[in-house]
Structure 1
Amino acid sequence: MKEQLHQLLELANVSSVYIVDDAIGDGSVTYEHFIGLIRKVEIASGLEALNSLDEGLDFEDNAPALEEYSAGLWKAAAPYKQLHYVRRLCELTPTGEDEDLATNLDIARVLQQLREDEHLKKPELVSLSPLEWDAQRDEIASKVPAGKRVLVLFDQRLERSGERFAVTRGIDLVKEIVSSAHKLVFLTGILTYTVTEEGQELDERAKLIADKALEASDLFVLTKKRLEELPHFVDGIKKLLLNEPCEQIKVQAISLGESALQSTKAKLLALDTYDFNRTVLQSSSTEGIWAPETLFRIIDIIYKDEIKEQLLQRNLIPELNKLLVQATALSQIPVPVLEAEAYTKRYSLRRQEIYATANLVNGLFKPIENGDIFEVTGGTGKGLYVLLAQPCDLMIRSNGTRSSEVGHLLKIRTTSKPDLEALLTEQLQKASIKKLHDFNFWKTRGVIEYIADDPQTIGLVSLTKAHVVNLDVLDLAMFSSTGEVVLDISATPPAALHIGLAKRFDKLKGLHEKIHRNVGECQVALKAVQGTLPKELIQGLLPKLSLNDKLGATTLTGSLFSFGIRRVKALREPYAKNLLDKYTRHLSRTGDLHDFAD
């Protein structure tokens, strides 16, 4: 860890680190602390409790010469053992009495660990009281070598130092630095117990910068819990050092995006009415595409080019590359933190890239498309399925028709990555070495990553068995804002449907109205027939979701048809196309002749 910290500080051009805390002086503990705590424990719990400091100790037998015994014990102990003794004594004293010393020990332990091999010599890693910081700040800034910076970690609560610190907090000291001529010299952070978990650090930082009108690049917040384990402390320093370049990159990106948006807006407003009519309205109507989809496509084309134009016009590439090089170099320093990960935003961003949510798909009444994911909620085959079909076969034209009446639903089996690795190992062990080239596990399966909130969960799609589904049934999902495959024949179509979809709705409604009439006539005709035959015959009149196997459950209640399935999300491109391509290759595969010589 010391080597990693040394590398991090060197990459960030940090020449020294200061920890400013009202509970510490120079970050060390003394024999006076030790013997004072022993007396407290003796009074509160008796000498017997002191034996728990370490194995082999016997304070009771040495009671007559307690101070001599304690002094010898202290003198013989290595520095790390002295810290262990005092930390344990703090735990044995009444709660809260020695909070300052406990903080002192946490910081002292980290300082000592970092100094052990002299990667960070004592002048380079310094602890100060708030009063000492006030007195030395300008001098520290003046002595920073050219091209170097100083990292300062402030405790948030400083009231024990008295004077102005009765009301002045660590964030106020950060504000003073940011508002001063020393802003470019100091890198600042808050190291505090007011944040109890690593996952709360960014939320606390957001509150502090809002309170003091600071920028996110001005500081990072670290919990003092990181001091309990050196890897966590070094991990916090790494994130603090990454914070400034990363936030500056984000600010640049937002500025570029805002300027590009204004340019895109101007170009869109300048689009001729006749061009708009031909490009957006007529082309969408001809192809059966919702016109806003075409409009968004055009906006996306213009916007992406405008961002690149802004990059060139502002000559930002050298500046951005410099920040990227710095941030990337820092990010490559490995800091193994074994516990549960606190920062998981990247997983939700990745899921957003791969999937369109149910709200975006169903709320916009989008036609069913290749890669749509459905969940069977009732009847047979409950679980997740993905729709695979050629996009041109699924496209609904302006007259409400499409070229295909069926599609393929393939089952998605969710599993964890460790379980999948175990399954693969088992399958490989069973495979003959001579026939290893015939190992077809991945030939017959597709993978859908981040299928669930847990990033360790993936979806396996079996390519060997598909439900041939009736698109006249599955289409009903696009008329429901919740994605349910249902149809109430007494209902009117959603107002948001474009011409092609409105005609498709009328067509399907007419089809189901006819089925409803046939069911009614059958019920009347079979009214006198006993047994299960009437129910079976009526069930046979109802449309089925799957044409080759049972799937879901078709019910008719009054005027409502329901099929026990709903659309829950959609694979975006290129992931939907990639899965379709793999399925198509599987369907078009050829078999090898058997090896009769084996």
Structure 2
Amino acid sequence: MNDQKYDEPRKAVKSLLDTLQVKRVVYVDDRIQDTIPLEDVIAAAIGLDEASLRVTFPGLGDSIPDDQDMRTAKIRDVWKDMSPEERASSGQAVVIAAREPGDDETGDGDMTDASNLRLLIPNDRQLVNLSPSHWETQQEQLLEESRTQRTLFLFDQDFSGADGDVDGGIKIIASLLDRDDTEDLICGLLTHKVTPDDQPEKWQALSEKHGIEKDRFIVIPKQQLSQDPMLFALALKFVALSPDFTKLKNKVKEIIHEAASAAAKRVEKVNIYDLDHIVFRGSFEEGLWEPDMLFRLHALFLRTESLKLAHEGGVLEELAAKLRSVSGIPTDRDPVPPPDSAWSLQREELYEFGDIINKNHLPLELGDIFEKVSDDSSKNENTGVVDCSKKYYILLAQPCDLMVRSKGKRAPELIRVPLAEIVQKPKCPSYSEEIPCFDESRENKWFVRMKMVHFVQISILDLCVLNDDGVGRLVIDADDPKGLRPAWQKRCLELKRHWSNKLSPLDKLSFEKKDSQDLRQVKEKIRESFLKAILSDVLFKGKIESTGNGQVLTYGCKRIARLSRVRAMGLLMSYTSTCGRPAYERDFVASHQGQGNDANDNQG
């Protein structure tokens, strides 16, 4: 019975049960028999050590003979005075404890799981195994005893083996937690119907289907008991964390509500003089949208009010300390990947996506990410790139230089700005920085290549701000898009003027009735050459079309996301460091790398 792979999980389980102050574990399963023959109990008890018998058969007392005949006699003597329920509980525990892991006559793994559960429960805790019928008769007594001898209640999911409900276990949990006198009850569902891979989804589904708060019970795949016993300890940790975590969330939610209310009141108290100076005059000079300045003030007040409330009374400190002590109990086996929900939250913190930045026409900013959407990029099938139509670039320009001021211009005016390539690689290339959580797949790693930088006309990127879909497009003769900031309304006029001037020579190339066929062909060739020279940039190709709304200029770039300011500033610093790296004379003693570039692309 001494399986070493259970040693560390058992230590973790003991620490967690100590934290929960659990003295007893009750496990209800339809494979547990109502009656156990005495001879089976004796045969099993002979093979157990004294410590195991003391836990599984508490009726034997502290003095358990080592001699086989004396032990048999004592078991017979105690057995005759036990109730049927006590015989079933102790007899089942002894038989299960004596069974070797993997030895399961039922063929479905339930008895093996019950045996493995015994390996996970420390010897100083009582494990009570009950059939569904014995649970029904002992339920109220066990619940009452749990008030003074706190108990962890574990239930099998399917009771059909005892002519019960296939969802019997979860229904019992739902009924128990619905009672008024079970606020501190700890329950778990042990089931073969859930695997470690789909546990989070099945747990959520069971919670919704049976109307149980997710924080009040845990779903444990039975496979964990044998395949990865440390996961049982991890599940138990969630049980231990849930009550205080719920309290912590509720307290933080309360603080957020109070802080937001206090911050809103402070915004209301901003007088007309400050309002004019900070919100309107300041915004006008910087080319900002006035409501953004009010939100900035609210964020300032919210932060200060939240900090003040968070440290009042010491409630958060106390809850955090308790949760920290439980979370620190070792339950790791191998490095555990973060859950998908954590990955999604991290992406949400790091990026603002097109549905926010484009539909609200947010100004061009450091960290804006663009996708190349030219028509012919997807046709190049021999480049070795899996999805060559998905080429991404990130804007690495100083934020103040990108700011469009109140007159619709930058100071100074920029002609070109750097876009660095974002590439997917298995490991970090030279002179590159990882850009985390860039796509939804956790398998892919993306990097910004600081030496693969293209200087693009900023007047092309500005077009992306004007459109809800983020595409670089300008309808030259149409009205301005709705929802632009005041500075960008003027910027839109500047862009129309800029592109109209660049395209004005086309007017001289228009066909006239008196033009001969040869002249028309010459004009068409000149027009094609002119447009190619004017509209082709280092990365993005443009085209001009005549529609019912006028001339439409479209470039093959699309703004899809924005990296957070802190991360983007880090990339900008890395880029400037790469540009400013020293270039030393080649050492006389340097080894030769062969012909071509250095294998690691590490030349100065």
Report the TM-score, using the length of structure 2 for normalisation.
0.74
Matched, 1:408 2:400: no
Q: Deviations over 1:257-294 (max 9, x none)?
A: 22222222222233334433332232222101222332
Name the residue aligned to 1:42. none
Distance in 1 separating the partners of 2:37 and 2:103: 7
Work out whether residues 110 and 230 of structure 1, in 8 Å CA contact, stay in contact via their aligned partners in 2. Answer: no
Query: 2-side partners of 1:500 and 1:289: how far apart?
Result: 7
Matches of residues 417-496 of structure 1 in structure 2 within 5 Å? 419-420=426-427, 441=430, 444-496=431-483
Q: Give the conservation status (yes or no) of the 8 Å contact 1:371–1:387.
A: yes
Deviation at 1:556, TM superposition (A): 1.2
**SS of the residue 1:453 aligns to:** coil
The answer for the alignment partner of 1:4 in structure 2 is: 9
- Alignment match, 2:287: 288
- Say whether residues 1:566 and 2:558 are aligned partners: yes
Shift, 1:580, TM fit:
0.4
How far did 1:352 drift? 1.5
CA distance in 2, matches of 1:217, 1:177: 11
Contact 2:354 2:561 in 1 (8 A): yes
Call closer, same or farther: CA 1:362–1:82 in 2, change over 3 Å.
closer
Residue 562 (structure 1) shift: 1.3
Aligned length in residues: 502
1:125 equivalent to 2:127? Answer: yes
Greater mean alpha carbon deviation, residues 514-523 or residues 346-355: 514-523
Pick aligned residue for 2:543 from 555, 567, 584: 555
Secondary structure of the residue aligned to 1:83 is coil
Residue in structure 2 matched with residue 592 of structure 1 by the alignment = 584
The 2-side partners of 1:166 and 1:333 are apart by 32
Q: Quick one: structure 1 residues 27 and 451, their matched pair in 2 at CA, closer, same or farther if it must change by over 3 Å?
A: farther
- Tell me the equivalent position of 2:341: 345
Aligned to 2:214: 216
Gaps of 5+ in 2: 1-5, 41-94, 378-387, 591-604
Does residue 568 of structure 2 align to residue 576 of structure 1? yes
- For 2:199 and 2:582, the matched residues in 1 are separated by 56
Q: Does 1:505 align with 2:492?
A: yes
- Residues 9 and 262 of structure 1: CA distance in aligned 2, closer, same or farther (over 3 Å): farther
Shift of 1:212: 6.1
Q: Deviations over 1:500-536 (max 9, x none)?
A: 0000001111222334442242243885335984354
1:229, distance to aligned residue in structure 2 (A)? 2.2
| Aligned-pair CA distance for 1:587 | 1.8
Q: After alignment, is 535-544 or 262-271 more displaced?
A: 535-544
Q: Deviations over 1:375-423 (max 9, x none)?
A: 11215795111111111110000100002232101111112xxx317x7
Q: What is the SS of the residue equivalent to 2:100?
A: helix
Check the 8 A contact 1:219/1:240 in 2, yes or no: yes
**Amino acid in structure 1 at the alignment position of 2:170:** G
2:463 and 2:471 in contact (8 A); partners too: yes
8 A contact 1:27–1:104 mirrored in 2: no
The structural deviation recorded for 1:541 is 5.3
**C-alpha separation between the residues in 1 aligned to 2:102 and 2:129?**
19
Q: Is residue 238 of structure 2 the alignment partner of residue 239 of structure 1?
A: yes
Aligned-residue offset at 1:17:
2.2
Q: Deviations over 1:80-131 (max 9, x none)?
A: 37725x35xx3xxxxxxxxxxx26335334235437xxx446x623322233
Structure 1 CA distance, aligned partners of 2:158 and 2:270?
58
Separation in 1, partners of 2:35, 2:561:
55
CA apart distance, 1:182:
4.7
Question: Would you say 1:107 and 2:113 are equivalent positions?
Answer: yes
- Between the aligned partners of 1:343 and 1:269, the Cα distance in structure 2 is 41
Cα distance in 2, alignment partners of residues 220 and 255 from structure 1: 26
Answer with 470-479 or 552-561: which moved more.
552-561
Following TM superposition, by how much is the alpha carbon of 1:588 offset from its aligned partner in structure 2, in angstroms?
A: 2.3
Which position in structure 2 is the counterpart of 1:80?
Answer: 100
CA drift at 1:201: 3.8
- 1:431 corresponds to which residue? none
Q: Are residues 551 and 23 of structure 1, via their aligned partners in 2, closer, same or farther at CA, if it must alter by over 3 Å?
A: same
| Code of the aligned partner of 2:241 | L
Q: Which runs of 5+ in 1 are unaligned?
A: 33-74, 91-101, 424-440
Q: CA 1:25–1:450 in 2, change beyond 3 Å: closer, same or farther?
A: same
Q: Work out the CA distance in 2 between the residues paired with 1:140 and 1:477.
A: 67
Identity of aligned residues (%): 23
Matched residue, 2:152: 151
1:387 equivalent in alignment to 2:375: no
1:28 Cα offset (Å)? 9.4
Structure 2 vs 1, CA of residues 178 and 8 (structure 1 numbering), >3 Å: closer, same or farther? farther
Per-residue deviation, residues 276-324 of structure 1 (Å, max 9, x unmatched)? 3332232222101222332222222111222222223343133223333
2:23–2:150 contact (8 Å) kept in structure 1: yes
**Contact 1:235–1:337 (Cα < 8 Å) also in 2:** no
SS at match of 1:485: strand
Give the AA of the match of 1:248: K
Q: Take 2:575 and 2:295, find their aligned partners in 1: how far apart are those partners? A: 30
CA distance in 2 between partners of 1:356 and 1:174 (Å): 40
> Shift of residue 564 of structure 1?
0.7
For 1:397, the equivalent position in structure 2 comes to 405
User: How much is the aligned-residue C-alpha RMSD, in angstroms?
Assistant: 3.5
Q: Secondary structure at the match of 2:186?
A: strand
Name the SS of the counterpart of 2:479 in structure 1. coil
CA deviation vs aligned residue, 1:56-103 (integer Å, no higher than 9, x gap): xxxxxxxxxxxxxxxxxxx9xx9337725x35xx3xxxxxxxxxxx26
Aligned equivalents of 2:210 and 2:131: distance in 1? 23
Separation of aligned partners in 2, 1:570 and 1:587: 23
Please list the CA deviations of residues 358-380 of structure 1 after superposition, one character each: whole Å capped at 9, or x if unmatched. Answer: 21111210111111111112157
Farther off after superposition, 284-293 or 320-329 = 320-329
- Aligned pair in 2 of structure 1 residues 318, 408: CA closer, same or farther (>3 Å)? closer
SS of aligned partner of 2:557:
strand
Q: Distance in 2 between matches of 1:273 and 1:215?
A: 49
Greater fraction helix: 1
Code of the residue aligned with 2:214 in structure 1: it is: A
